Structure formats: C-alpha cells, structure tokens
Homo-oligomer: A and B are copies of this chain.
C-alpha cells in the first residue's frame, strides 16, 4: 500500500498514512484530537481544516459559505491520494482537555445517611491481610495454599477460600521469601474469598480500587484507598471516542460503518482509561498491581463499547441492549491496567437509554428508601430521570439532544477554557452583554450553563419572545445572519477566535427543544401515576454539568420544575460517586442489582403522551404558565 506524508501545522508534525486515508485519520494518527461530532459523516462541520500545500480529494460537507471562502474544507471527507499534503488544523477544530467534574471534598462525597444504613457486616470489595504461616515439617506437611487458607480463615468468615491461577504460580516462593510472612490481597464474595495477590513479608500498602465513570463526553477515575475509604487521587479527561462521534448514536453508527469499528472504538476508551490510571498511580506513587478492582458506571452504550458488546440494536426500534447486567471481567481480558486478575464490575442498566450511570446515581441518592416522592435527574446529552419512593420507582430518558453539551449550537462547546458560562444582558444599556468564561480566557464559544443563562437573559431582556422568536430590538447586536436572525454575544475584537460569537434563532429553537424534552419527561412520569408536580418533595440534580447549572435560570426557561431552592440538591457526578460507594460496600452494589430490576422503564417514544407534553413545553417557560407561578411573563 502506498504511503503518503501529511504535515500538520502549526506543529509541523509529519505522519505517514495509507493512500486514500482521510485528513481526520491522519490527524488521529498524529495524536491530534479533531472535533468530529458526527463521527466523520461530513454533517457536523466541526473538523474544518485548511490545505496549505498539496492536493486532496473531496472535503465537501456541511460548512458555511464564509468558511469555504476562507479556504476551509472538512477533514473527514478529504482524502490524500496525490502526494504529500500540508494541512493546518485551526484551534477551533481541535478537541481540548475538558473541564471534568471532579469533587474536591472526597470525604463529603457520600451522603452520611446512607452509609449508616448499611449493616455492620458490610465490607469493601477487597481486603488485605498480613499473615504469618505455620512452617511445615514432615508431619505438618499440608500444601502452601492449604496453610495460607487455614490462616486466612482465622481472619475472614467465609466458607471457601480460592486462589487465582496467577497468584498460585509464585505462592511457594512468596511464602518462603520472608520466613513465612506474607501479605495477601483478597477479593471478597458472598461466601468465599479469592486470593489474587501474595506479597512476601508484611506490607503496609492498603488495597486500592478504582471508581470509573465513562460518560459520553468525559471519562473520570477516582483512586480509592479501600482501607481508609478515602479517594486519594482523581483524574479526568474528555472521552476520546468523541473523534468518532459526539453522541451515542453516531458512535454506534461508527461501529457499523467502520471496518473493525467496535474493536477500534473499544480500544480508544480503554487507552483513555489506562492513561488516567497512569496519572492517578503517579500521583499516589503506586503500581498497577496495587489496584485490585474497578467499579464502572456508564450509560448503556458506553458500557457496550467498553466491553465490546455489539451495540447496533440499541439505536434501532425497539431499542434492545445486548445485556442490562454485565459479567465481571478480569482486567487482563480487557487490557485494563490494574492487577491482571483484578475484577472489573459494571453497574447494571435498566434499558438502552437508562444505564448503569443512572442506577449508580439513584443508589447514591437513596431515593428507594424515602417515604416522600423524590426526583433524580441526570442532565447530559439525554436527560435521564428517576421518580418515586420506597413503594414505586419509575425512570425514563428523554432525548434532550446534545444542545446542553454544545452540540447543534453555532458556537456551542463543552465547558473548556474560553467557554462562556455566565451571561448578563443590560437591556437599558444598548443590550450590553457581560459574561464570565471558563478559565477567564477570551471567549471562544458557549457551554451548557452559559446557554441556559443566555436563553433566560435573552427572554428577560425581551430579545426573544415566549416561543423563542427573535424580536426586532434596536441594537447593533441584532442582525440577519446566514441562517436567519442572530444576536452577537461577543464581537470578533473581544473574542479569542477572530469572529463574532453569536447565538441564532435556530440555536434558540434547539435549546427550547432540549429543555422541553426534559420537562415533558417529568410530566409523563407524573401523569402515569396521576400525580401533580407539587407532590415531588426533593429534586436531586446529578451529571456532568448539573453542578454548574443556575437554578433560577433553569426554572425561568422551564427546564426544571418551579419549586423553591430548598427542594433542590446538586449532587455532582452521582455516577462516579455511586461507583465509589460500591467499592466500599458490597451491600451497596448488591442493592444496585435489585434497584436495576425494580426500576420500571417508561419508553417515551411509545405512544403520543410524550409528544403532547413536549409540544406544551415548547414555550418559555411553558404553555401552561400556572406550572411556573414564580416566573413573571
């Protein structure tokens, strides 16, 4: 196969790719992550690049006239066929490290009330024991493992003790190395324990576990000392699968259309996780062998891609996942860099669009133990919700679309440096816009919380009406753009990208659809139980960007129910925290298995009820203003 050299600017990075490769593939080969929300379909227009030297074939697709006039083409549809090419990848087309949701107060992560409820016989998934074995002689000549087992049974109340194949291999040497003193690491099961590591001598290193949250957008790991129960290091990054599509659907499409697509997309997330593991190991100065277990919380598609399970029927009616409960997998079988015999356990899912991340979060909230009715919402690409109490539990997922994560919005972006996250509009001062950005950088786009803020403030300033239509307000900021009316939030002179940052009427429609879907989902669940919205006594908001949500603005636009602030609780990355809790409490995980089974899943696309509620929610805040008494029109 002919190889063609591609030079990537401004780095001046050279990479050789096979003739016929796309520029997107060339960039990936060079280790540069290019935005590709549509997964290389030529439809999202995010991978714009500029050819500086040489020729490529194609490059067409969804790209504004202005950008085409600047000489930009799409990297995903442009192939290198005719000799060397030099290509510039603009800053705006690159994926950067994401502002990932990490908690600072690891000790406050778990709500005290739940920890207390677990029985005293509860245990973490792993324990280590320092043992001194009886030295054998001609009459006491039981095998090394038998003597180890006898000693362990004095410390552990289990019926059976087994040993992993790998640990057994070197057991005879380990027990003799330090005069019959050993430290063993045990995976605890119901009535048994499996020894997976034997260290010579009495070693003080605690057992470690990893809590892992694989989000569609971000991947976060927390390294947990299972003896003290503390998170000792965290690390997060964007999910590198983003270069294969922004949302779960385009990633599934990728696995279907790309040769060995499932293997490739699986490898990307596993590599990504292993890099995060290296980071936390370095922070804590430990080795991979010190980590025995990993608890994985992720949505159903992410778990399928992580485990390499065929995902294609998730996106096809009637939306059937391969499995909702997943086998425990040995680390060596997945290539995850913890001890090879270490176990990787995944939270059970409820359905194709309510995954283990929601089960993990719901377990964390303790919703199933309440007498009053609680609502747990995880807002991301989908708005997944759990409603109920100790008598009934219901869940659903409404396709909010990627708007809150920046998808489908002209200048939408994730919460990275330069993302506008707060906005104010001074109607009386020529609609002057003031804003705050992530990292206080010059603005380059708007992230989810900024968009909610923006919608609310545009409405308050009268720039848009209750349907989201732009009004003819008298300011230079209001103008006619390529796609209809638009409002300038930051001019090219103040922005970090030499362009005006605007929000268009079309963007606003996308946002209204997203917020309407979430609210409609809540209403449909309540309707099923014939309950009014006031019956909810507490709303817990989790998920990637929940923490950054402005409550007032969210209510004002009709995303969240109109309830007093004291009814709301922001619980951060509930998926990761649930995984953390399960590492420390085997009962908590067992509880999740039950929880997964007891959650009744409402398929919103089945019947007209959701659609009817959705149409009513397409106003700011809602058609039925009586639902939002605190919001003045």
Task: Point out residues on A near B: beta carbons under 8 Å.
Answer: 136-139, 141-146, 162-165, 168-173, 176, 307-313, 317-327, 329, 333, 349, 351-352, 601, 603, 605-606
CB distance B141 to A323 under 8 Å? no
Q: Which of B141, B318, B320, B323 contacts A319 (CB 8 A)?
A: B141
In the complex, what distance in Å separates the CA atom of A143 from the CA atom of B601? 12
A325 contact set on B, CB distance < 8 A: 143, 145-146
Write out the residue numbers on chain B whose beta carbons fall within 8 Å of the beta carbon of A352: 141
**Which of B143, B310, B326, B327 makes the CB contact (< 8 A) with A170?**
B310
Question: What residues on B are CB-neighbors of A171 within 8 Å?
Answer: 309-310, 322-323
Are A326 and B137 in touch, CB under 8 angstroms?
no
B327→A141 contact, CB < 8 A? no
Q: Which residues of B contact A317 (CB under 8 A)?
A: 138
Residues of B within 8 A of A326 (CB): 168
Q: A324–B142 contact, CB under 8 A? A: yes
Q: Which residues of B contact A307 (CB under 8 A)?
A: 165, 168-169
Q: Does B136 lie within 8 Å of A168, measured CB to CB?
A: no
Task: Say yes or no: A145 contacts B322, CB within 8 Å.
Answer: yes
Decide: B318 and A168 in contact? CB cutoff 8 A: no
**Distance of A333 Cα from B341 Cα, bound (Å):** 11
With A143-B321, A323-B146 as given contacts, are A169 and B138 in contact (CB-CB < 8 Å)?
Answer: no
Instruction: Give complex CA distance A137, B318 in Å.
Output: 5
Q: How far is the CB of A296 from chain B (nearest CB, A)?
A: 13
> Which 6 A-B residue pairs are closest in the complex by CB-CB distance?
A145-B323, A172-B310, A143-B324, A172-B322, A138-B606, A138-B318
Most B CB within 10 A of own CB, among A136, A309, A326:
A309
Contact B318 A169 (CB under 8 A): no
A524 nearest CB across to chain B (Å): 15
Interface of chain A, main secondary structure: loop
Interface centre among A145, A165, A326 (most CB of B within 10 A): A165
Q: Quick one: copies of this chain in the complex?
A: 2
Please indicate the chain B residues that have their CB under 8 angstroms from the CB of A146 in the complex: 323-325
- Whole-angstrom distance from the CB of A526 to the nearest CB of chain B? 20
A117 to chain B, nearest CB (A): 25
Known: A141-B351, A324-B143. A165 touches B310 (CB 8 A): no
B residues in contact with A605, CB < 8 Å: 138
Known: A141-B351, A141-B603, A173-B310. A322 touches B136 (CB 8 A): no
| Shortest distance between the CB of A159 and any CB in chain B (Å) | 12
Bound-complex Cα distance A14 to B2 (A): 38
Measured CB to CB, the closest approach of chain B to A122, in angstroms, equals 21
Determine whether the beta carbon of B162 is less than 8 Å from that of A327. Answer: yes
| Inter-chain contacts of A312 with B (CB < 8 A) | 172
A144 touches B320 (CB 8 A): yes
A-B contact pairs, 22 of them (CB 8 A): A136-B320, A138-B605, A138-B606, A141-B319, A141-B320, A142-B320, A143-B323, A143-B349, A145-B324, A146-B323, A163-B323, A165-B327, A165-B333, A168-B309, A168-B322, A168-B323, A168-B327, A171-B310, A171-B323, A172-B311, A172-B320, A173-B310
Given contacts A168-B307, A327-B162, A327-B168, is CB(A322)–CB(B143) below 8 Å?
yes
Report the separation of the CA atoms of residues A432 and B171 in the bound assembly, to the nearest whole angstrom. 58
* Most chain B CB within a 10 A radius of its CB, from A170, A321, A351, A601: A321
What separation, in Å, do the CA atoms of A601 and B321 have in the docked complex? Answer: 54
Task: Say how far A42's CB is from chain B's closest CB, in angstroms.
Answer: 28
Q: Give chain B nearest CB distance to A145 CB in angstroms.
A: 4
Q: Give the one of A164, A171, A317, A333 with max B CB within 10 A.
A: A333
B172 A313 Cβ-Cβ under 8 A: yes
Q: A139-B606, A144-B323 are in contact. List 16 more A-B contacts (CB 8 A).
A: A136-B320, A138-B317, A138-B318, A139-B603, A141-B601, A143-B320, A143-B322, A143-B351, A144-B321, A162-B327, A165-B327, A165-B329, A165-B333, A169-B310, A171-B323, A172-B310
Which partner residue on chain B sits nearest A311 by CB separation? Answer: B172
Check if B322 sits within 8 Å of A144, measured CB to CB.
Answer: yes
A143 to chain B, nearest CB (A): 4
Q: Please, how many angstroms separate the alpha-carbon atoms of A137 and B308 in the complex? A: 24
Distance of A630 from chain B, by nearest CB (Å): 37
- Nearest CB to that of A603 among chain B residues? B138
Chain B residues contacting A309 (CB-CB under 8 Å) are 168-169, 171-172
Q: Is the CB of B137 within 8 A of A327?
A: no
Chain B residues contacting A136 (CB-CB under 8 Å) are 318, 320
A606 to B164, CA, bound (A): 33
- Residues in chain B near residue A320, CB distance under 8 A: 136, 141-144, 172
**B143→A308 contact, CB < 8 A:** no
Question: Which B residue's beta carbon lies closest to that of A170?
Answer: B310
Tell me the complex Cα distance, A173–B320, Å.
Answer: 12
Residues of B close to A173: CB separation below 8 A: 310
Give the nearest-CB partner of A146 in chain B.
B324
- Asked if A164 contacts B603 (CB within 8 A), the reply is no
**How far is A322 from B165 in the complex, measured between Cα atoms in Å?**
12
User: Which residue on B lies nearest to A176, using beta carbons?
Assistant: B313
How distant is the Cα of A392 from the Cα of B319 in the complex, in angstroms?
62
Residues of B within 8 A of A323 (CB): 143-146, 163, 168, 171
- A145 / chain B contacts, CB cutoff of 8 Å: 322-325
